[in-house]
Structure 1
Amino acid sequence: MTTSADELLLPLVDEDGAPFWEYVAHGELRIQACADCGRLRFPPRPCCPHCQSFGSEWRRMSGRGRIWSYVIPHPPLLPAYAALAPYNAIVVELVEDPLIRLAGNVVSAVDAPLNSVDPARLRIGAPVRVVFTQLTPGVTVPRWLLERP
């Protein structure tokens, strides 16, 4: 992660993960899959951990998942994050493959701040759907909205 001018952490994009971030910038959640055995893999990497193939493709996901885990960070926090406390950090398991898990935050709307959801509303297993938030020009991240039951 790198830090922006306002001190929020930004993704550090490497060669293997670059396609993921390019799709996110276009409002698509895609996960790398093996072109030979078909298994999804995240984080992206050159070789399939299941069959050792170097063939890959990027599959579009539904953008739906469930909260697998979450925390409400407490001080000491980086100054930009301390101003937003309390906020959440979550891990989402995708409906397409519960072993594919993405870190992020639950927010109340696409451009809402990290502290826009009352932490008391979070539950393990709660359904969520992805949204895409532009943090700075050229940097978009996936975030999550709670689904209504």
Structure 2
Amino acid sequence: MADATAKAEPLLTPTIDDDGAPFWHYAARGELRVQACAAPGCAELRFPPRPCCPHCQSFDSEWRRMSGRGRIWSYVVPHPPLLPAYAAQAPYNAIVVELADAPRIRLVGNLVAAPDAPLNSVDPARLRIGAKVQAVFAEVAGMTVPRWVLERP
């Protein structure tokens, strides 16, 4: 489904704040990590990152490495593209992934055929709720971002 002319990525990058900076630091190393409460007896995972644990109100936190495995919890194929910079790659997908290690944690991204593949590299007909996926990392506009590929049986 991918078109050789659609390889160029739009220059849309995340805004990095103090709470989320470690997520991007680990992504640059090819690691998917999630913030966790470091208070004794709590250890709740949380995403998006924030300074205070919503369960026990502790300000102590650490970043736990995840396996990168998950399943598609939801998805959308925008028609027409919501952002003009993405028009050349339509139809592309945006998926919500429920992490296998932390089912209450859900991350948004794109399902692609390979880490550096264009956003339209997966036929939208292949998208299925519950499909198993694996995190991969790609450099986009000077940042390393997590993406998702279908897990092989």
TM-score range, shorter chain: over 0.9
Deviation at 1:7, TM superposition (A): 4.3
- Relative contact order: is structure 1 or structure 2 higher (C-alpha 8 Å, sep ≥ 6)? 2
Residue 3 (structure 1) aligns with: none
Q: Secondary structure at the match of 1:131?
A: strand
From the two aligned structures, give the one with the greater strand fraction.
Answer: 1
**Hey, what's the Cα distance between the residues in 1 that align with 2:54 and 2:82?**
35
**Hey, what's the Cα distance between the residues in 2 that align with 1:60 and 1:73?**
31
1:19 aligns with 2:22: yes
Matches within 5 A, 1:117-132: 117-132=122-137
Normalised by the length of structure 1, the TM-score is 0.92
**Hey, what's the Cα distance between the residues in 2 that align with 1:70 and 1:7?**
20
Identity %: 76
Deviation at 1:141, TM superposition (A): 0.6
**Hey, what's the Cα distance between the residues in 2 that align with 1:130 and 1:83?**
24
Normalised by the length of structure 2, the TM-score is 0.90
Residue 72 (structure 1) aligns with: 77
Runs of 5+ consecutive residues of structure 1 not aligned to the other structure: 1-5
Structure 1 moving runs of 4+ over 3 Å: none
Deviations 1:48-76 (A, max 9, x none): 00111111000000000000000000115
How many residue pairs get aligned? The number is 143
Residue 148 (structure 1) aligns with: 152
Residue 91 (structure 2) aligns with: 86
